[in-house]
Amino acid sequence: MERDAALLHTAMATGTTSEVSFEFLRHVTNDFANPFTAPGRSAPAANLFIASVVVGGAPRQLFVKRVLDAGAKELGIALRLDHANIMPVTVYHRSAAHGVYIVTEAAERGTLADQLSDDASASALTWGHRVKIIADAVAGVTALHQHHLLHHDLKGANLVIRGETDHDNSGRAQLIDLGLAKDTAPDAADDAESTPGSGTRGYKCIEYAMGNCSYGPAQDVFGLGVVGLELFTGKVAARLENRDLWKTRAMQVPDTRLQAPPPFILELAKLARRCVAAEPEDRPPLSARCRRFSRSSCTATALSTSPMPAAPRRHPRSRCRLAAFA
């Protein structure tokens, strides 16, 4: 047990990853007695538990995730990655007797979907914060693609926002849940073709949902576009009645819990709508998205750390014309 604790402390201090015993995980989770309940949700997660540890004399919380189905694959992919916008594995456990457990630092603020579903939390996410979140998401997905990986399940529920109650990484968005990730490298052992049913309704493009194509980069771009629309509208696609936010007029209406968006937000909303174009070839390549959002992130950072000046109200018809032009 002491060896496992030392491995955990080293991993948290240096960013390295080690394997720990199942008994250690039982100990730090109080025998898995504390499942995590996301903000605004009444039921706890079925496979996510809170662990309490002390590091450097300070109490810290971790998430312990029991990985189902393709757990070894998800762990293997996660251990290959080292990027600021992808949630790193702190320690893990893998055995035939107990399966796979992945331990990460806790993100008590929950996911982007949780934040947008709570009025108080959503109101605190300024337009500047929201641009930074989508810029971080694009950077994380770009890193995946550079490693010949496709996320395959991009949505607000798979983005966590670090900051405030977290130990570090204040204000940073990180991708989580690589359970459906697909390795496209020529020598990849992952040769199982994903089925059209995989992924989450509302974030899957029509051509993939209907089985008309294999999953590729253009389909990840579509998922990012839906996340961008969630940030713009404040609506969570998975929690809408029909789930297809990208098909509705609601995608043209900015979140009413914030003041009127500045012009560059309207431009980025148009960009998000291009990402959910019906034809894959009409969606902009991810590299272009990364450059565009990177240019905007400087403005976003300034807006995130200072009060947003009141924006002039636009005539409703002007907004309609802008939406039609997009």
Give residue-wise pLDDT tens across range 81-102.
999 999 999 999 999 999 999 9
Classify residue 172: in a domain, yes or no.
yes
| DSSP per position, 12-63 | HHH---EE--HHHHHHHTTTTT-B---TT-SSPPSSEEEEEEEETTEEEEEE
276 and 246 Cβ atoms separated by less than 8 Å: yes
Does 280 map to a domain? yes
Distance between CA atoms of residues 135 and 110, nearest Å:
19
pLDDT at residue 167, rounded to an integer:
47
Taking the C-alpha atoms of 167, 168, 169 and 173 in order, what is their torsion angle to the nearest 10 degrees?
0
Domain total for the chain? 1
Q: Average pLDDT in the 251-280 region?
A: 92
Q: What is the pLDDT of residue 296?
A: 58
Question: What average pLDDT does the structure give for the chain?
Answer: 81
Q: What is the pTM of this model?
A: 0.82
Q: Mean pLDDT across the stretch 271-300?
A: 74
pLDDT of residue 268 exceeding 60, the answer is yes
Q: Is residue 120 part of a domain?
A: yes
Instruction: Evaluate whether residue 129 is within a structural domain.
Output: yes
Residue 315: the pLDDT is 36
Please give the pLDDT value at position 39: 64
105 in a structural domain:
no
Within a domain: 305 = yes
The residue with greater pLDDT, 39 or 13, is 13
Average pLDDT over residues 161-167: 61
Provide the pLDDT for residue 311.
Answer: 34
Answer yes or no: is pLDDT of 324 > 60: no
Q: Which residues contact 315 (CB under 8 A, 6 or more apart)?
A: none
Model confidence pLDDT, tens digit, residues 95-130: 999 999 999 988 767 899 989 999 999 999 999 999
In total, the chain counts a number of residues equal to 326
Average pLDDT over residues 168-173: 68
What is the mean predicted confidence (pLDDT) over 68-78? Answer: 79
110: helix, strand or coil? coil
CATH of the domain at 121: 1.10.510.10
Asked whether residue 15 is domain-assigned, the answer is no
pLDDT digits (tens, 9 = 90+) for 41-70: 778 878 899 998 888 788 888 999 998 766
Q: What mean pLDDT is predicted for residues 258-281?
A: 92
**% of the chain at pLDDT higher than 90:** 48
Domain extent, residue 220, equals 112-325
- Is 106 inside a domain boundary? no
Rounded to the nearest 5 percent, the helix, strand and coil shares of the chain are 45, 15, 45
